[in-house]
Structure 1
Amino acid sequence: MSRAAVAVRDQLRDPIQRRVLGVVLVGAALAAVVVVGLAGHGSVLRGLGVPTAALLPGLTVLSCLAEMTVVRLRHGEAVEELSLYEAALIIDVLVLPPRDALIAAAAGLVLASARQRRPFVKALFNLGTYTAATSVLILIVHLAGGSPGALTVGVLAGVVAGTVAFTAVNLCCLAQILGVINKTSPWRIVRSEARLSAYMAVGTMATGLTTAEIALHSPLLLPFMAMPALAVTYAYRAAAREADEHARSACLLRLSHALAEREDVVRQFLLLVREAFGADLAVVVLEDDDVALSVESADPAAVRPGPVPRHLAVLGRIEEPAHLAEDLPGGLRRMVVVPVQGGGRRFGTAAFATRHRGRGWMTTGDVTLLASLASALAVAMRGAEHLDRLLAETSKLQAVVEQSAEGIMVIDGAGLVQVWSRALAEMTGVEAAEAVGRPPAEALDVPAEEERRLLMPVSVAQPRTVAELTARRRDGDQRRLRLAHSAVFAAGNLVRDVVVVSDLTREHRTDRLKSDFIAMVSHELRTPLTPIIGYVDLLRSRGERMTPQKRLDALNLIGDRAGHLSRLVEDLLLASRFGDNPDDVALQVSTGIHDLGALVGQASRDLGSARVVTSLPPGPVPAQCDSGRALQVLANLIGNGLKYSAEDTEVLVGVRLDGDRVHVDVRDRGRGIPADQLAKVFDKFHRVEDPMTMSTSGTGLGLFIARRLARAMGGDVTVVSTLHSGSVFTLTLPSAGPAPDVANPSENRA
């Protein structure tokens, strides 16, 4: 049986050409060994009574006919052809002398290749392979059995051993080519094909031996030998169909996956359907394009665009599968054309063609299957279009969700978060990966008792509603959130709830700030106004009867309270001149070189408290500042130290130099400032105490103004505080001269 008829690509690559040349050279060498080594040997079997001159051409014709009885078996991109050629070879070897047997085998193969118009390289490979294998068969048969003229045990053993060797040589040569074409190991091909080759060897050996013996002893029974030959051929065709079906099923399974994924479906359709049906050319012409996509067996991995073939263009809009056998380009012999349509829409035309003459290519069932696959392609293309549109719309929606300044949260029917936008993540400090799949109360850190009331207030009767809640971030910051719910219900059950979340923290804090400011200013203004009004009324009603000293005391107190009220108004006016931006000074200062030590002493004396203890260098401490504004800042810092510390504790004020900067540290032993309030004590109107319950007076502007004035002079005011231990406020200003001798700083009490 023939196994080396390999359908290789139209343009063979160098590795294949080298292997073909090697096989031809091996075959020629073995043929020379047979001709020279077995020159005196006669035929193994004798008794036909036919002269050699007539027997040689007759067996040559028999070998040719046996080779043309072809059953094609595909191996990926290669095709193996099974025939009765090997059975004819055994007859040639048994009834002809070695040289004549070799001539009959080679001549029959050459005639069959010419008749079937095989490519030159393919025919050359077949000739080299079978010459090598036949030479091995002849050598083993003659060396093992000799030329006894009759079938003996030795002859039978030689035929069996020679057939095994013939099959091994043939399979090894074939595996070399198939390995290159399919890009796999030749040894792997040998192992996968060894069983089928063994079955074929047994069948062909039995057919050849039986035919030779019947020809010698009962020639009248030769016509009946056609039945075993037909049985063997049928078995080969059954094996070929089974292999084709297996390969086709694998291709169609891959195609179904490709169509389901809807990615590059036209390319996958061309590649896999061409492979499944063994076509040499596959073409798809899309309805809306003037370009045809095609793939050929010569390069089965490349789908190339090109002009629409004329023989496809003239078909127009075919509605049913069409068969073409005439006016086909490129040596194509048969073509099947099917419409690509489905779902009430036509997408184009698909065509598949072959170059061989095989009558079994594209049966009626194959065409029906191909039409169904083309319809599946149309459905996949339509689905891909819908998917593209859906992805486009989804991307727009995703962009809206991600770019929206408002937070967006989607809750499913089970009450779990499905969508958590980037803006919402920024508001809450919870990333989407942590929130999705969890109840919103867990993500927002809302008490369980408020979950239903605030997070899920919707109902069938009220699917749209608004709620407000306070959520605590992980960093401790509280956010006031407004949740606008828009829910969808089906059969009384929640399907989804789309929640638009707005951050009202700034507005909420502004409202609270306004309320606190009003309460604070009212309290602070009422404090000096109350004694002023009281003493004015007292002077009006009883002033003439009061002693001069009491009248003077009353007037002094009125003046002191009026000064306090004036300072409050001045702080308010000064604060209004600063913007909200910390870097926006909005204040002009007149800087010069002043003795900061002297300014510290003056501020301490002006406050008139024995609790203020200063530690100053013995000499001047020149600093670049505005003396009036620096004195105002120092008075504010020292006054705060006195106000927020106990009556029996001291406030320490020290001056120190650090390079080109000079620092004034005001240290008290008061209640201290909580850590979460340190960054806020310099904010406008901020009070660490609640304005409604505070035990100390003040507008919350002193530190705000002090820092702004210090920064306007090129310095700063900072604070370090320990709760329940006290605070240290530091005024830093640019130094304007060399550091004085601070070996023995002076300590003074105001």
Structure 2
Amino acid sequence: MSLLGVVLVTVVLWQTADRVSVVDGVGLPDGWLMLGLTVLTCASELTVVRLRHGDAVEELNLYEAALVVVVLLLPPGQALLAALLALVVASAAQRRPLVKAVFNLGTYAAAVSGLILVVYTVGGTPGHMTAGVLFGVLLGTLLFTVINLCCLAQILGVIGGVSPWRIIRDEAPLSAYMAVGTVATGLTTVEIARHSPMLLPFMAMPALALTFAYRAAAQEADERARSARLLELSQVLAEREDLIRRFLLLLREAFGADVAVADLTDAGEAVSVDVNAPAEIATGPVPPYLTRLRDVDRPEHLSTGLPADLRHLLVVPIEASGRRFGTVALGSRSRRGRQLSMRDMTLLAPLGDALAVALRGAEHLDRLVEESSKLHAVVEQSSAGIVMVEGAGIVRMWNEAFADLTGVSAAEADGRRLADLLDVPDADDRARLLPVTPQSPKTAAEFTIRRADGELRRLRLAHSAVFNGDRLVRDVIVITDLTREYRAERLKSDFIATVSHELRTPLTPILGYLDLLRTRGAKMTPEKRAQALDLVADRARHMSRLVEDLLLTSRIDDGQDDPALRVDLDAHDLVALVRQVADDMGGADGRIVTHLPGEPVQVRCDAGRTIQVVGNLVSNALKYSPSAERVEVRLCVRDERALVEVVDRGRGIPADQLTKVFEKFHRVEDPMTMSTGGTGLGLFIARRLASAMGGDISLISALGTGSTFTLALPLARPHVS
């Protein structure tokens, strides 16, 4: 801009070097006339009305009116010199920053040069007022206004972060009215000076009227800006996000203050926003001048006892519902800046109360969020399923525990009906999904659901509902999984039925033969009596093994250090042990077929327990295979382990039962309809004993094709084939 001013000044001096004034007849020597007009122009520049644009300030004055007089009454060179000299003197008197002074000088140099060129080009130098002169002055003044407005819009746009075109659009009407007013004032002054100099003092009245018009426009603009900021303040107080910083920024802008400070008593520090750094917030110790005002119980307007850089200070308490949060203060620095008044105090006081209410609400909201977070954590981490439904059973909350129970995720459940999410096989149970009524808002119900994978689960739903009249508002349901309890109860019933059956089977012949021996034993032949006694002994041993298995299972379950649980590990020939099992069973009438290596296979095991485990596996295979089918027993070495495979051609085991057959008391058959004997303890004990010897038992089975049980034991030494 300074470069443009230099160029235009050069053009003016070159094009109008030999020109005289546009009008003449004032009757004063050129020197005195130039001095008087320079003083007049300087005084007009000092008559300032400030118009705020956010953080920037536009200064309105009578400089343009004085400039019209200077351009008409002085030759071009003198007019340009008087205008710029008056501007320099005024800037020095107002102590404007150097950058701003240089910018203004460059802007006005360009604008004044444009005005002079248009006036002399359009109106010429007729020596008196003509239509051409009037038109030239009007056109030149409009050009002067356009140049000034464009330059000002660029600066205000950078400072305020808004579009320069928006500023030009908003300010153009006022600038045009002001241009016409300054032209009228300047032309009238020139004509009175030429023809009736005695009336010149009365020209102060239109100038004053124009000044007051400027001030009214500035006040109106300030009020519009303040209203906009107060509206934004209400939104900030409602949103409560970054509350203090945004509140102080808007408060300072709304009141045209230089600094806004909030002294937060609880925090023990002050938050401030300064006009010199409008986008930054400063947090630090409370200034001394605010510390002594912490206990003010009413608004204060101070102009004494302040720091050197503050001239005025408004202080209001921040209080709500008997709670004091601190104080908020607005300060102004410069004499030329906007003076804070008691009228500002009446607006600031309720804003301080509104800030206190917002801070109190923010505290409540923080506590509510904290409590909600705790409640959410409890709900999500709860091992019990928790569901909340509204209205007609619409799901609004579905925690992770219930998602695991049902296999339905919370995202899938939200917004859907509870009855549509749970697969309840029993129609009566479906009707009891929401059993609550206004008369019975708290109740509980049990029923079975089917998961998507087909598994059945027994659940207990405890309802706690809230009604509005007859309408269900909310029902919080706590779900407990009773599946294990029901399975344990079923297992208990199955165990009682199984053990009763197993005890009754050997006990019946024992009682029968004992009664026979008691009543007819003397008449029986020795051979018959010996057979009866052998049978009684065999059945008694069977009962003894059953009781021993029950006791061993109890000790394993309780973790007792019982001798029955101990294994004596040593090197033994597994081939010999397997052969002994087959021999002890007498080959089961030719049904047991062995495939054993021709050389010993040394394993580290307990010989007696190994015979017990292998015998259990072979006995199970014989029991669950048709009587015409053979049971194969194979022994091989693989990966430094000896494997004993017992293969049957029985009915096989369902896939969902493969891991459960090793659980205690588990029977693949229903105990009430089973066709084979057993307590369901053999495989449980066998796997525990195998594990105690450092081995394991695995199972491969398929329905209709049979099963293969494999006992794996560690080798006592590397096996050489």
Distance in 2 between residues matched to 1:543 and 1:306, nearest whole Å: 111
Corresponding residue number in structure 2 for 1:519: 497
1:94 to 72, 75, 86: 72
Corresponding residue number in structure 2 for 1:747: none
1:549 Cα deviation after fit: 4.5
- Gapped regions of structure 2 (runs ≥ 5): none
Matched, 1:642 2:622: yes
Distance in 2 between residues matched to 1:736 and 1:541, nearest whole Å: 57
1:353 to 308, 327, 331: 331
Residues 268-313 of structure 1 deviation map (CA, whole Å, 9 limit, x = unaligned): 2211111122111112234556543322101123333455555555
Distance in 2 between residues matched to 1:353 and 1:248, nearest whole Å: 16
Residues 334-370 of structure 1 deviation map (CA, whole Å, 9 limit, x = unaligned): 3333333333444333222223456975566644332
Contact 1:664 1:731 in 2 (8 A): yes
Matched, 1:336 2:314: yes
Change (3 A) 1:650 1:248: farther
Contact 1:413 1:496 in 2 (8 A): yes
Corresponding residue number in structure 2 for 1:81: 59
1:186 Cα deviation after fit: 6.0
1:396 Cα deviation after fit: 4.3
Corresponding residue number in structure 2 for 1:725: 705
Residues 371-412 of structure 1 deviation map (CA, whole Å, 9 limit, x = unaligned): 222221121122122223333443444454445554444444
Matched, 1:701 2:681: yes
5 Å-filtered alignment, 1:534-573, equals: 534-573=512-551
Corresponding residue number in structure 2 for 1:744: none
Corresponding residue number in structure 1 for 2:693: 713
Distance in 1 between residues matched to 2:456 and 2:682, nearest whole Å: 26
2:644 to 656, 664, 669: 664
Corresponding residue number in structure 1 for 2:581: 603
Change (3 A) 1:56 1:685: same
Contact 2:424 2:430 in 1 (8 A): no
Residues 6-50 of structure 1 deviation map (CA, whole Å, 9 limit, x = unaligned): xxxxxxxxxxxxxxxxx5565456545545664433223323333
Matched, 1:633 2:641: no
TM-score w.r.t. the length of structure 2 is 0.87
Matched, 1:369 2:347: yes
Distance in 2 between residues matched to 1:420 and 1:358, nearest whole Å: 65
Distance in 2 between residues matched to 1:585 and 1:356, nearest whole Å: 99
5 Å-filtered alignment, 1:303-318, equals: 303-306=281-284, 308-309=286-287, 312=290, 317-318=295-296
Contact 2:313 2:340 in 1 (8 A): no
Residues 224-247 of structure 1 deviation map (CA, whole Å, 9 limit, x = unaligned): 866776676566555544543443
Distance in 1 between residues matched to 2:174 and 2:632, nearest whole Å: 105
Contact 1:579 1:586 in 2 (8 A): no
When structure 1 is superposed on structure 2, of 119-128 and 51-60 the one drifting more is 119-128
1:519 Cα deviation after fit: 1.5
Between the two proteins, the alignment pairs up a number of residues equal to 718
Change (3 A) 1:690 1:241: farther
Contact 1:441 1:448 in 2 (8 A): no
User: Aligned letter for 1:659?
Assistant: D
Change (3 A) 1:198 1:674: farther
2:601 to 614, 621, 634: 621
5 Å-filtered alignment, 1:85-234, equals: 85-142=63-120, 146-150=124-128, 159=137, 162-163=140-141, 165-183=143-161, 197=175, 200-201=178-179, 203-205=181-183, 207-209=185-187, 211-212=189-190, 215-216=193-194
5 Å-filtered alignment, 1:450-461, equals: 450=428, 454-461=432-439
Change (3 A) 1:30 1:490: closer
2:21 to 43, 47, 50: 43
Change (3 A) 1:454 1:605: farther
1:663 Cα deviation after fit: 1.9
5 Å-filtered alignment, 1:421-460, equals: 421-447=399-425, 449-450=427-428, 454-460=432-438
Distance in 2 between residues matched to 1:207 and 1:655, nearest whole Å: 124
Aligned identity (percent) is: 62
Distance in 2 between residues matched to 1:110 and 1:131, nearest whole Å: 11
User: Aligned letter for 1:703?
Assistant: L
Change (3 A) 1:316 1:735: closer
1:173 Cα deviation after fit: 3.8
Distance in 2 between residues matched to 1:38 and 1:87, nearest whole Å: 22
When structure 1 is superposed on structure 2, of 653-662 and 375-384 the one drifting more is 653-662
User: Aligned letter for 2:664?
Assistant: K
1:495 Cα deviation after fit: 4.4
Contact 2:425 2:449 in 1 (8 A): no
Corresponding residue number in structure 2 for 1:4: none
Contact 2:666 2:680 in 1 (8 A): yes
Matched, 1:675 2:655: yes
1:327 Cα deviation after fit: 3.9
Contact 1:468 1:481 in 2 (8 A): yes
Change (3 A) 1:585 1:105: farther
Residues 603-654 of structure 1 deviation map (CA, whole Å, 9 limit, x = unaligned): 2343332233333334433333333222222221222122222223332332
TM-score w.r.t. the length of structure 1 is 0.84
Distance in 2 between residues matched to 1:230 and 1:477, nearest whole Å: 94
1:593 Cα deviation after fit: 3.3
Distance in 2 between residues matched to 1:561 and 1:376, nearest whole Å: 94
Distance in 2 between residues matched to 1:681 and 1:382, nearest whole Å: 64
User: Aligned letter for 2:107?
Assistant: T
User: Aligned letter for 2:78?
Assistant: D
2:671 to 682, 685, 691: 691
Corresponding residue number in structure 2 for 1:248: 226
5 Å-filtered alignment, 1:736-747, equals: 736=716
User: Aligned letter for 1:510?
Assistant: A
Distance in 1 between residues matched to 2:261 and 2:221, nearest whole Å: 25
Residues 424-474 of structure 1 deviation map (CA, whole Å, 9 limit, x = unaligned): 445555444444544444555445745577544444444444433344444
Contact 1:267 1:303 in 2 (8 A): yes
SS of the residue 2:310 aligns to: coil
5 Å-filtered alignment, 1:411-430, equals: 411-412=389-390, 414-430=392-408
RMSD across aligned C-alpha pairs, in angstroms?
3.7
